[in-house]
Chain A
Amino acid sequence: DGGITQSPKYLFRKEGQNVTLSCEQNLNHDAMYWYRQDPGQGLRLIYYSQIVNDFQKGDIAEGYSVSREKKESFPLTVTSAQKNPTAFYLCASTEAPNYGYTFGSGTRLTVV
């Protein structure tokens, strides 16, 4: 079955560490996105990529970095510069403009 796979489901980070969240899709979608969700709130866009080897900052990119070396993969690194990283992270993809996103099941990141 086609879909988006996020891993790990749960991730714990110590203060000052960088961590990388994985997002892989086999839907052959060109565009991929990373959103952050805090409790009781909507989704805020971190980074997005419309095509391989290209990506743009979203509304809250500070403290995060991404790469898009392959069409199927769009990993997100949460750096030590992100002061409040505890949140639920969602990856999504879409086949074309003005089409709905398909979401992964999310990664819950907690700072310990």
Chain B
Amino acid sequence: GESVGLHLPTLSVQEGDNSIINCAYSNSASDYFIWYKQESGKGPQFIIDIRSNMDKRQGQRVTVLLNKTVKHLSLQIAATQPGDSAVYFCAENIAGGGNKLTFGTGTQLKVEL
């Protein structure tokens, strides 16, 4: 989920388990969504994207699900590894909004050995 302030939502998982990170987006006119991974002190890295005409998209060990009815996006990471520890952001592009992404506040994923 989303929050404001200095404390990110945190998800702790055991190595090898599946992780699910959720995001509630704000605008029903959003037509494109992206998940980014950000490690400490680095720029965000693209993970996977999905367009509004799709409900599901799969990549390598990652799946994004889009539920437009409730404006909800999720990122599933299979067999979570220590290298997956990072902050994960969802981003949305609002159609007609000038080609600029709006980012959520992020979720901290911690993988425990």
Chain A residues at the B interface, C-beta cutoff of 8 Å: 4, 6, 31, 33, 35, 39-45, 48, 50, 56, 58, 90, 92, 94, 97-98, 100-106, 108
Contact = CB atoms under 8 A, between A and B. Distances in A.
A103 B44 contact: yes
B12 to A, nearest CB: 17
Contacts of B4: 41
Contact of B99 (A41, A50, A104): A50
Interface residues of B, number: 28
Contacts, number: 63
Nearest to B44: A103
Contacts of A101: 34, 44, 46, 101
In the complex, the 8 A-B pairs of residues with the closest C-beta atoms, listed nearest first: A103-B43, A40-B6, A42-B105, A97-B99, A43-B103, A42-B103, A98-B32, A100-B46
A45 B43 contact: no
Nearest to A35: B103
Interface of B: 4-8, 31-32, 34, 36, 41-46, 49, 51, 89, 93, 98-106
Contacts of A42: 89, 103-106
A40 B99 contact: no
6 contacts: A6-B43, A41-B6, A42-B104, A44-B103, A48-B100, A90-B43
Contacts of B98: 48, 50, 56
B102 to A, nearest CB: 8
Given A43-B89, A105-B42, A106-B43, A58 B99 contact: no
A106 B6 contact: no
